[in-house]
Amino acid sequence: MSPTTVIRGARHWRTGEPIDLAFERGVILDAVPARADVVVEARGAVLSPGLVDLHVHLREPGQGSRETIETGTRAAAAGGFTAVACMPNTDPVVDDIAWVEWVGTRARAVGRCRVHPIAAATVGQRGERLTDFLALRQAGAVALSDDGRPIVSAAVMRHALEYAGHAALPIVCHEEDLTLRGEGHMNEGATATRLGIRAIPAAAESVMVRRDVELAALTGGRVHFAHLSCAASFDALRDGKRRGLEVTGETCPHYWMLSDEAVATFGTDAKMNPPLRCESDRLATIEAIADGTIDCLVTDHAPHTADDKRQPFEMAPFGIVGLETALALTLTGLVRPGHVALARALELWTEAPRRVFGLPEVRLAAGSPADLVLIDPDAEWTVDPAVFYSKGRSTPFAGTTVTGRVLATFCDGEITHLDPVVGLTRVEAPAAAVAAAR
């Protein structure tokens, strides 16, 4: 027995117009009925299609001490996400249909949002033999990636792009020339020089972006560039788009919020790969988002245990969490300073990523899936990792005051998150429906 839910007094994310909306059995109704089981008083909050994150590490199978599908999707719901695509660099690597199906099954059992598995592009992510692209797609994979590692061999990358055409799947590229990266642990520049930390030049990323733009041209293949972080990479992507190639790209909040100087202050909480770059790269990230070079935003949510992150800098693993701060950092770092409008910022987290991976559309219209998020774009709050739902707590934004808060998330018509702090949202009986969602 699916309850009828009504959201009353919201503002449309694109037009800003008042909107009331009802849904039942996970589908938006064509009119708001007179009677409802649950009424959410939005009080002018912004109603948007649920956010989508094409780049998260849910760490299952095999790395449950860092994150699980249950905790990761709970964090996603808290961040306003109704769908995530999860990376296959787990233990074991998700490189066959059994593990793709397992991720899907597990997510349906314990997940708080839709989970779209990304399968490895090569067996064991070793960059040698291609995985069974068509079977993987059949099993539910939405993309192919060796994320965490580059596909070192240009020939293997070429063949992957050619063959992926049969499966109509994008190859998501973690771009990193391993010889240029060497033993580096942070961006090359004054801060690394001062701290004596072995450094990674930005060119370690951009030379591979250049290479794969050329391979996209050679093969006509569909390349999606993961977590781009520097001006030269944006230039390469811009160039590829100008040439009409099937290339898209994503970037993450930390690249527009921080430069590598943050490492001196936040230590391993500012250690991720690609690393925080220099100030001009940070500004170039904002420019690439504003001018449309970047197609969508992602978190690269990469949780680790506290013990793993609490080590001397070079000994700690790469990766920070991002699901629960992404929207606020977008509003704080992009919308408030006027780099992009609110509607465009939300598009980059909603329609745009769905388009990039070909996921089902979500609109605020009858018949659409009820994957929704209610946002207070003006609420200020201070990031406190202690209250994260994610098992990962490492973030350089701890203690940062940000603007923009997720009030409620609805996935497939279920309430998957209700803000416990701000309390702008009131839900009326029956209490059972709310309790079940908590």
Residue 385 lies near another protein (rule: CB under 8 A): no
Residue 190 lies near another protein (rule: CB under 8 A): yes
Taking CB under 8 A as the criterion, the residue among 65, 153, 311, 401 binding another protein is: 311
Please enumerate in sequence order all residues whose Cβ is within 8 A of that of 265, keeping only pairs 6 or more positions apart, or say none: 396
Dihedral angle computed from the Cα positions of residues 211, 213, 217 and 221, in that order, rounded to the nearest 10 degrees:
110
378: amino acid identity, one letter:
D
Closest to another protein by CB, 61 or 189 = 189
Query: Which segments within 62-131 are labelled E, that is strand?
Result: 81-86, 114-119
Q: Check whether 174 is labelled as a binding-site residue.
A: yes
Question: How far is it, in rounded angstroms, from Cα 271 to Cα 284?
Answer: 20
Record the tokens describing residue 434, joined without a space: 């709310």
Residue 159 lies near another protein (rule: CB under 8 A): no
Fill in the per-residue mask, 315 to 334: x = in contact with another protein (CB under 8 A), - = not in contact. Answer: xx------------------
Phi, psi (rounded to 5 degrees) for 286: -60, -40
Q: Check whether 57 is labelled as a binding-site residue.
A: yes
Stretch that binds another protein, among 85-93, 160-168, 196-204, 350-358 (CB under 8 A): 196-204
Q: In this structure, are residues 49 and 362 in contact, taking their beta carbons and an 8 Å threshold? A: yes
Q: In this structure, are residues 175 and 208 in contact, taking their beta carbons and an 8 Å threshold? A: yes
Identify the three-state secondary structure at position 269: helix
What element of type H or E holds 410? Answer: strand 401-411
Closest to another protein by CB, 8 or 310 = 310
Question: How far is it, in rounded angstroms, from Cα 277 to Cα 285?
Answer: 10
Record the tokens describing residue 110, joined without a space: 């314990």
63: amino acid identity, one letter:
Q
Q: Check whether 136 is labelled as a binding-site residue.
A: no
Sign of the CA dihedral 23, 366, 330, 68? positive
Q: Check whether 319 is labelled as a binding-site residue.
A: yes
Closest to another protein by CB, 4 or 63 = 63
Q: Check whether 159 is labelled as a binding-site residue.
A: no
Residue 194 lies near another protein (rule: CB under 8 A): yes
Stretch that binds another protein, among 27-35, 123-131, 181-189, 326-334 (CB under 8 A): 181-189
Q: Is the preceding omega at residue 274 within 30 degrees of 0, hence cis?
A: yes
Q: Check whether 363 is labelled as a binding-site residue.
A: no
Count the alpha carbons within 13 Å of 18 in the hemisphere toward its beta carbon.
5
Closest to another protein by CB, 149 or 310 = 310
Residue 272 lies near another protein (rule: CB under 8 A): no
CB 259 to another protein: min, Å: 13
13: amino acid identity, one letter:
W
Taking CB under 8 A as the criterion, the residue among 132, 314, 412, 428 binding another protein is: 314
Decide the pairing of beta strands 46-49 and 38-41. unpaired
Q: Check whether 254 is labelled as a binding-site residue.
A: no
CB 417 to another protein: min, Å: 34
Q: Which is catalytic among the residues 53, 300, 376, 419?
A: 300
Q: Residues binding another protein: what is the number (CB under 8 A)?
A: 21
Is-catalytic flag, 269? no
Summarize as ranges the residues that interact with another protein (CB under 8 A).
182, 188-190, 192-199, 267, 307, 310-316
Could you tell me which residues are annotated as the binding site for Zn(2+)? Answer: 55, 57, 147, 174, 227, 300
Could you tell me which residues are annotated as the binding site? Answer: 55, 57-59, 89, 147, 174, 227, 273, 300, 304, 318-319
Could you tell me which residues are annotated as the binding site for substrate? Answer: 57-59, 89, 273, 304, 318-319
The residues that are catalytic are 300
